[in-house]
Structures are given as C-alpha cells and as structure tokens.
Chain A
C-alpha cells in the first residue's frame, strides 16, 4: 500500500502540472534528504547545498518518472548522483595553495621536458595501497572516509600518504637526473 505522503496519484498530479502537489512532494522529500545527507557527510553546511540541489534534480526530471510508485528509487538516484557531484567538486575551491613557481597554464621549460616521464615514474614507484589511497583522494573523498572504505584508521591512511610523498620525491629526483643525463 502506498505511503500517504507519496501517494502515486499525488505524484501523477505533480507531474501533470499541479503546483500544490509538486511543492508538497518536494517539501516532504526535504527532511528525508536532509536526514540522509547529514548521516552521510555530517552536520555540515554543505548539507544545505546537497539537499537543495537534489530537490532541483527531482523537480527538473520529475516528468521523466514513468512509474509514480517508484519515487523512492527516483529520489535515491538523485541523491546518489548529487553525492558524486559533491565529491568531484569537493576540493576545487578548498585548495588555495597554488604552485608559486608554476602558475596555472604556465611552466618552465626544464619542467616541461621531464614532466610526463616524472609523473609516470613516480606513480609506478607507489605501492598498490598508497596508490589506491591517492586515487580515492583525487576522486574526492576525505581521508577519514577513505579510512572507512579501506577498513583502517585515518592516521594509517595519512601515514601512507606521507610515505607516498617521500617515495615520489625520491623517484622524481632520480627521473630528473636521468633526463638530465640523457639530455647531455
């Protein structure tokens, strides 16, 4: 039996242009989404954005919902898609530490010459575990989230990152020496 709050008939009315039904549906979804995002990412201000954006997703694509009885799946996918967008953009605005010697879009000639070799060599030097951690970090997860995903502690994850940095530092130094030697 359908839940009264998400009666398929009301969903259908919302799809058919009944503004009251549509607003009511979105309002009823709001606390569910808020509760969900707070559980997933904590009591952060980003929750507001996630809730609002997911409601917009639902609003904009509600007409595409073919089975009004499957609103839960519909909202769930909207929330999961929104989380993916959130992870992808998570670090874009937080990382203010640009390379002082390497502004965006610019590079020095020696760095250009070895850059690709450097990076590939450095990546090859990583342990599978360290590489997995770095990949998950670049995917957009926090270290504490990565720790949960890998069933370990945040401190252990960060230790792996430090080791990865050391490994890369050495690997890059060797690579640069090689490039210099081969270029002679």
Chain B
C-alpha cells in the first residue's frame, strides 16, 4: 500500500501538529484529497446506517442486559420500551453483525461495573466505622474536581454546570484539589487559554489549553517532583535540581529532567517531547524497565502508548513549539532571528554585518511587541535598536 495514505487513515491518533501537517498535505495533493473524501463518504454511510438502525443506543444496553439474563436490572418502564423495540434491535443486529460484538462488550462493561462496585463496597465495610466512613466524611468538606475544559458540546457544559451547582454551589476554581489526590494540585486550562504554573522551586510550566496538569505542592529542589500532564501542551522551564529529579508523566510517556526547557504535547495515546535546553530522558509509561531515549537540545521524540519512544530526531524548535506562544531560539544566528521576527510582526528588521552571525539562545513571548523583543536581544548582544523610516535596525552599541 502506498504509505502516504496510512497517516490519513489513522489521523485521529495523531497530535494536532501532525494533523495540521496532514491538512497541508491534503491542500497540496488533489489526488490524496479525493481519495480521502471518498473514504470519508464511505465511513459516513456506515455511520448513518448505524444511526438509522439503532437510533437509541440505550435500548441496546437494555437488550444486552436482558440477553444475559439480567432482567432484574430493568424497570417496568424499561421493559416496556424494550418490548416495543426488540424486533427492531434484532433486525439491526442481523443487518449489522458488528452489533453482536457491541452487545458482548456491553455485557463485559456490566460485569466490570459489578466488580468495581463490590471492591468499593468491600473497602467501605473494611475501612469504615459503623456510623460514617471517615474517609468519605472527610471528602464532604473537600471541593470536588472542577469539570475540565473539553472540546465537547454545549450539552456537556450544561451538565457540568448542573453538577457543579449540585456539589459545590457556585465554586469554580482554576486550581482545585482532586477528591482522590488530596496532596496534589490540579490545574486545568480551557481551550484557547494559557496559564503559567510556578512550582515551589521556581520551575514553571506554561500550560496551553485545553490542558490539565497536576503536581505535588510544597516540593523543594531537593525532593523529586512528579508532574502529571494528562492532556494538552505544556512548556516546562525547570530550574537545576541537583540530584532530585523532575519528572513529567503523561498517559503514554514520562520525561525525566535535570534543569532544562522543553515542550510536551500529549493526547490519550501519544506524547511528543521537544527539547530546547539541557537533557531529558524520555521513556514509555511507568515501567522501570521501559525503553527510553535521551534527547539533546534541538531534538524531539514521540511515544505512542505501549510502544518505545521514537529515536531522537532534529526539530525546528520554532515550528515544533509554536503552540507555546513563545519564540524559541537555540544558538540561532541573529540574522535568522531578525528574519523570523520580521515575518511574524510584518516589519522590516536589518542587522549590522558585525552582529549577523552572533548566536542567540532564548525564549520570547510572542505577545510582546517587536520593540520589546528586539530590545532584549540587543541587550544580550551589547547592541542597540534604532528605527528609521519604519525599519528596525540592530546595530553595535555606539
């Protein structure tokens, strides 16, 4: 098979950056775009058929429960609804054989629920005094987790708001203590928003929403800090920590660092780490023996859940970390920086020949003015900024 189609077929498993690259590819390749459109049309037809045959999936759940003899789970109203729909469901299963697998899965889900329920009930009986379970009572005073930002529907937001009102009144916190992790702080950032989290040791994480990060507050530079980025993107600036590690964990990977700057993009199945400065060891998952790679500055690695990290590969830092809202330069000639800043701000910037090859390493916030960024660069170079006829000039200090 022509491998150019593979990334498209599994596009939803790719990171947003990778999806953006695929979009560009589609724009540039009409044949690829045509095949993709047809593929989507076929899939759309399958989806429509599922919807037509099974407009209410709750009935399939009731059907699955009944099929395994779980009739006692159904209320009289549910039984009546199922009676009315049973023939249609049987027809749907005949027409779409995959639905029989769905029914089996629902039955598995039912069995697992009962297992979890039994475990929790057992734990309550073991741990709790006869009157009120102390751990549960303690939770009464603790605010629940804030519903996280998610690219869901308005309906989901409405539900969240209902639940928030139900459980905590009007309390909406940007930083909350999770009900099961009282010793950790969780920070959630909505889609399109950014927030800089400063840890107790001075390290920072610039969260780019939608993202969620948790960490143990009160951790000093002499203690290991385990930060968990469960989704989204974060740009970390970690202060030197001596022997104590700073660990970033995601659903698919973990990165251990010692004083460095790096960006992490994570989804449920993959994580990309891009290193700007220092050293990072990137491993797959939590296992001690998991394979790992060591990144050098300017390199990236991608970890798919359950797989070894990809070999370190060179990265264009500015492109790879554009989402961070930062200009990221590492040993970049001043002339190149001027060119990029000029393109970004839509202005002309000239650099004196004596400064053109001078390397600069640093990060600058993109929402600063061009003048502010250039002034910082000039100070680093011992230069100054002049403006003449709308053109910015970096020249040696007079």
Q: Is B167 an interface residue (CB 8 A)?
A: yes
Pair A56/B251 contact, Cβ less than 8 Å: no
Note all chain B residues with C-beta closer than 8 A to A73.
72-73
Q: Is B119 an interface residue (CB 8 A)?
A: yes
Q: Is A150 an interface residue (CB 8 A)?
A: yes
Docked Cα-Cα span, A35 to B117, in Å, equals: 9
Docked Cα-Cα span, A165 to B130, in Å, equals: 61
Docked Cα-Cα span, A153 to B65, in Å, equals: 27
Which listed residue, A26, A79, A100, touches B166 by the CB 8 Å rule?
A26
Docked Cα-Cα span, A139 to B102, in Å, equals: 9
Extra A-B contacts (7), CB below 8 Å, given A49-B147, A119-B42, A145-B105: A5-B124, A76-B73, A77-B65, A77-B73, A81-B61, A115-B41, A128-B97
Which listed residue, B6, B41, B101, touches A162 by the CB 8 Å rule?
B6
Note all chain B residues with C-beta closer than 8 A to A128.
97
Note all chain B residues with C-beta closer than 8 A to A135.
46, 50, 96, 98-99
Note all chain A residues with C-beta closer than 8 A to B153.
89
Nearest CB in chain B: distance from A76 CB, A: 5
Which listed residue, B34, B58, B65, touches A101 by the CB 8 Å rule?
B34
Which listed residue, B23, B30, B120, B128, touches A31 by the CB 8 Å rule?
B120
Q: Is A11 an interface residue (CB 8 A)?
A: no
Pair B231/A45 contact, Cβ less than 8 Å: yes
- Contact A81-B58, Cβ < 8 Å, known A97-B26, A99-B36: yes
Note all chain B residues with C-beta closer than 8 A to A134.
43, 46
Pair B124/A55 contact, Cβ less than 8 Å: no
Docked Cα-Cα span, A64 to B78, in Å, equals: 11
Nearest CB in chain B: distance from A132 CB, A: 4
B40, B73, B98 pick with most chain A CB within 10 angstroms: B98
Docked Cα-Cα span, A141 to B35, in Å, equals: 23
Q: Which residue of B is nearest A80, CB measured?
A: B61
- Can you identify 21 A-B contacts, CB atoms within 8 angstroms? A4-B124, A27-B136, A27-B144, A32-B117, A36-B113, A39-B116, A40-B109, A44-B230, A49-B147, A49-B152, A56-B166, A64-B75, A76-B73, A77-B73, A79-B113, A84-B61, A97-B23, A132-B97, A141-B105, A158-B9, A161-B9
Q: Is A138 an interface residue (CB 8 A)?
A: yes
User: Among B157-165, B238-246, B310-318, B360-368, which stretch is in contact with chain A?
Assistant: B157-165
Q: Is A63 an interface residue (CB 8 A)?
A: no
* A-B pair number, CB within 8 angstroms: 219
Q: Is B154 an interface residue (CB 8 A)?
A: no
Docked Cα-Cα span, A96 to B104, in Å, equals: 31
Note all chain A residues with C-beta closer than 8 A to B85.
none
Q: Which residue of B is nearest A166, CB measured?
A: B1
Which listed residue, B36, B99, B151, B231, touches A97 by the CB 8 Å rule?
B36
Q: Is B27 an interface residue (CB 8 A)?
A: yes
Note all chain B residues with C-beta closer than 8 A to A64.
75, 77
Pair B12/A91 contact, Cβ less than 8 Å: yes
Which listed residue, A3, A53, A94, touches B156 by the CB 8 Å rule?
A53
- Which residues of chain A from 52 to 92 have a CB within 8 Å of any chain B CB? 52-53, 55-56, 59-60, 64, 66, 70, 72-73, 75-77, 79-81, 83-85, 88-89, 91
